Every structure is written in C-alpha cells, then in structure tokens.
Chain A
C-alpha cells in the first residue's frame, strides 16, 4: 500500500492559511470540553484489582502470623533475587518449619509478581498500594512485621473479608486449575476459572452456523 505523501493545497487554501484555521478551530473546541487531567494528590486514580504494587505477607487469622511454609519457591523464582528467608526447625514442634526472618528489598524488586504466583499457600501478595516512597533506603527493605503490617493496612483499607478474598497475582485469570496446588484453588467467578471466556463475534457466529 502506497502512502499518500503530501496533500495538495490550492491557491485559496494557501491564501487563507486554511490548515492553521482548521487546527485552531480544533483546539478551540477542546476548550469547552471536560478536562481529562486527574489532579493526582487530591484525586486518587482508580487502580484495578491485580495491580502489582507494594508487597505484603498475608496474616493468617488463626495463627496471627504469616502463612508461609518456607518452601523457598519464591526465593528461587525471583528474577532480582530480593527475597531472603530464614527457616528454623523447633524440636518441640516436630518437623514443622518456622519462618524466623522474611526480608524483601523493595528497592531491588521489579514487581514481576512471580513470587505471588508460585507461592503454594498464597502467603505473599502484591497489593494495589503504589505510593509508598521513603526518604531512606532502610525503610524500603521490609522485614516480616512490616510486611504483615502492610497486609493489615491493606485489608482495612479495602474493607474485604479474607475468607472471600482472591487476588489475580495469586492466581492469574484463566490459568488451568488442574496442576495448581490445593491452596490456589480458591472460589472464583466462572470467567476466572476459564469457563465462559470472552470470545469474538465472528467465532460465535461460526459456531452457531455449524450447530444449525
């Protein structure tokens, strides 16, 4: 396909600067429409669920501490290697592992969401909180209490009940349920499970045509 290179202008258009008039008219019309700028600190943007923002460790309502079982999957999958976990085994509890330290360096993190996706018990989550800058490096290197606090704050803000809460970073929409560990098979709407997918108009028509 050949592009149209330069539109011809006739003498009248040249004389009356028609293209300038058109452009001015266009911008003038804009003047009377609603502004689209979001006055950010005063108005908050509508961040969609599943935005990959600040980390949090889910606080388990029963044990009041993290759900993490110390499987180290998130550590291994993290591309920027910013998660550090220390595990302890306490003899009085048999073989159960306890997480004695959980560190995430938010300054190294690239917010890919891999950690939340591989975690088998949905212990770690990337929340929709996006504004959390600080003045020093230390306060952006989160330890376990800070991460658990992040979660408490987030849950209170959202006004959600943990029992019904699912996040797309835990379980991306439409992934097959079969190979998922049990902890990931949370109750979700049908389109999330991969049923009732959005399909194209032409596809729907062709299927209907075949059925007839």
Chain B
C-alpha cells in the first residue's frame, strides 16, 4: 500500500505583522455611498493602512465627450454627480461659454443661480440624511427626504426630470420659470429654516452624534490644502475659499452671502459648515427670487442644439436658424469655434468641480478633463482614517461627502 504523500499545508500569512487582519470593505457595502471599495489593514480595531479603490462605476465620460458636441456632452454631465446634476450642468455650461466667449443674459444667470442653490440644498439634504443614517440616526434620514422631495418636484415642473435635468443650455437655460415654480420655491424657503432647526434639534447636541463626530477625521489647515480638499471639507479646516465668492460666475456677484468657515477640521466641523451653508443657500434663493429680472433666457449668440460649426446669431438667421445647422455641417464651413484650452472651476455642493477643455476649433472637445471633488476627497480618506477605528471610517466616508459617479466618471 502506498504511503499517502505528506502534504504541507501552507498557511497564508500576511506580509509584515502577523497580527494584522486584512479586510476588504465594499464595493457593495451600503455605507460606502455607491461602489467604493476600501482595502483595510487592521490591528485589532485600529486601521493601520487604508487604501481606497475606485473605478467600479467608470463609464468613460471624458472619452465619450470627445466624439459628442458640447450640447450632447451636457447630458453626460448629469451622470457625474447624480445627486446635484444641476450644478454639474451649470458648471459645464459656464466652462463652454467661457470657451466660446458668450455671456448668457441676466435672467438666465439668475435662474441658474436659483437652480444651483436648489441643487446644493438637495445634495446637502441627501448628505445629511445618509451621513446620519450611517452613524445611526434614522429619523433625520426620513425628515431630510421629506424636504428633498419638495425640491425634486419643483425641478420636475421646471425641466421635466427629477434627477437628470439637462436644464441649462450653452448661453442660457432651456425653459423659463413660471409662477407655479416661483410660488412653490417661495413656500419652500419660508418653511425651510424651521426644518434646519428641526435637524439640529435632533443631532446637534445629541451625545451619540457628538461622540461619533467630534475629533474624528481631523485634518489640519495645511494638510487639507496639501490633500487638495475643496468645498466644505476645506472650509471646515479654516481656509476661506469658495469659488462662488472668489471667482464669481452666474449671478453670485450680484447676491449677498457669507461663507461659513470652521476651525477644527473634524467631522463635526464639516457637519456644522454644511448646515450653515444651507442657511446661506436659502438667503441666496430669497435674494434671487426678489431680484429676478425680466428678459430673454437664451443669449442671441448662443449656439443651437446642433452646435453647427458657425455660431448663428438669432437675428441674422431669422429664416432658418434650425436649418442652418444642417447646411453648415454638410458644407463643412470653416470652423469658427475658438481653439485653445480652458479651465473653469465652479463650486458644486461637494467642492470645486473643474472642467478642462481643449478645443481644436470643432464643436467637439478635443479632450475634456473633469476635476471632480469626489475623486480627490476619496484619496484623502487614507489620511483621514489611518490610526482611527473601523467604525470611524464610516463617519469619514460620510462626512467628506463622496459620490462615486463623479469620482469614477
């Protein structure tokens, strides 16, 4: 009888410290706000190494933009940060307008500011809801969705969609606001400050909330700057930087608002900053409604949806503005779009969203790069979480407010 061969069973040992435990969190973990995978190396319950992995939601938006006209690329920007799609749309339009050197009319700029702030509110409400849910406050989640629903219904009236708006146009907006929308918005603004107080009653001084957020995920001022954080995350660390204030676009230079700045740079400070931002948004909305001027909603030199190679002023092309697009395309007229490159940043709820567009004079971008705040914030997770507890990683993911659609593009 043959001897059974002696098998040596190799125990897989992690390189380095044998006490360490490797954990792969996500991509289906509900607290990762989408499909984020975080590779963790744990020593007991302490995170020794934290390595975020992105790319599960990659759709190649930057590449797709290369063979679509600017007007068609606009609908792709809806799919970046799907929670605040309106801000992305506006950001893209501002970038292309700067490239084509057109200015939208005043009314369109005001309307864009209104929808921008509404989407900031919608995004912050969803952030508060999910952040609180991750930490264990279920009530806030439901209360926030109650208010967010009002905003989404207003958006539906305005542009016919609840999430993927495609509402702004290059050189204006698609559709004018009507009395129904403005009245609804006014009613919302009237009740909303009370609602913010309600959320604060629930969690502001709640001792579980304080235990889970105060001192968690601390970043100093210098660290925040070197990590490239923007938006509320940067402001919570004490840096006064807001694109709306420092490089105003749309109608932000015509309204009066303040930028909330924190000191501590921890999760609680970020939470407080965003709550104050919501109050400021309400202020901006009220001013915009009060100052809304009459006038056209698209500029005279705005390109049409076909992005025909020549920009046709409406006056000149009375007879067949809709047809000239086709003719221009089939006749291969000399491209008159400006060539060159441009970087334009706008302040979206998550931070600074930048569009870098290289144009070769055709109605398509030769190359478009999107500087998305979520991607940079995810990369900061390592610095935020290392040395902390596993449970605090959830707080950190929630409090830097990432959306994976924007990070992976």
Contacts and interface: CB of A to CB of B under 8 A. Distances in A.
A22 B204 CA distance: 11
Interface string A177-212: 011110000000001001001111111000000000
A129 interface: no
B322 A194 contact: no
A201 B204 CA distance: 35
B296 A194 contact: yes
Contact of B205 (A9, A118, A174): A9
B156 A51 contact: yes
Interface stretch (B7-15, B39-47, B261-269): B261-269
A70 interface: no
B160 interface: yes
Interface in B253-303: 258-264, 268-269, 272-273, 276, 288-298
A79 B160 contact: no
B210 interface: yes
Interface residues on B, range: 35 or more
Contacts of A126: 160
B72 to A, nearest CB: 4
Chain A facing B: main interface SS: loop
A79 B149 CA distance: 28
Contacts of B288: 200
A112 B71 CA distance: 11
Interface in A1-23: 1-7, 9, 17, 19-20, 22-23
Interface residues of A, number: 54
A3 B182 CA distance: 30
A10 to B, nearest CB: 12
Contacts of B68: 79
Interface stretch (A131-139, A144-152, A155-163, A165-173): A165-173
28 contacts: A1-B276, A3-B260, A3-B269, A5-B262, A5-B263, A5-B268, A6-B210, A19-B206, A19-B207, A22-B201, A26-B201, A27-B139, A36-B146, A48-B157, A51-B156, A73-B326, A76-B306, A110-B75, A114-B75, A118-B322, A173-B176, A179-B322, A191-B178, A197-B294, A197-B295, A198-B178, A199-B292, A203-B290
User: Which 6 A-B residue pairs are closest in the complex by CB-CB distance?
Assistant: A174-B176, A179-B321, A200-B292, A79-B72, A172-B175, A19-B205
Interface of A: 1-7, 9, 17, 19-20, 22-23, 26-27, 36, 47-48, 50-52, 73, 76-77, 79, 110-114, 117-118, 120, 126, 168-169, 172-176, 178-181, 191, 194, 197-203
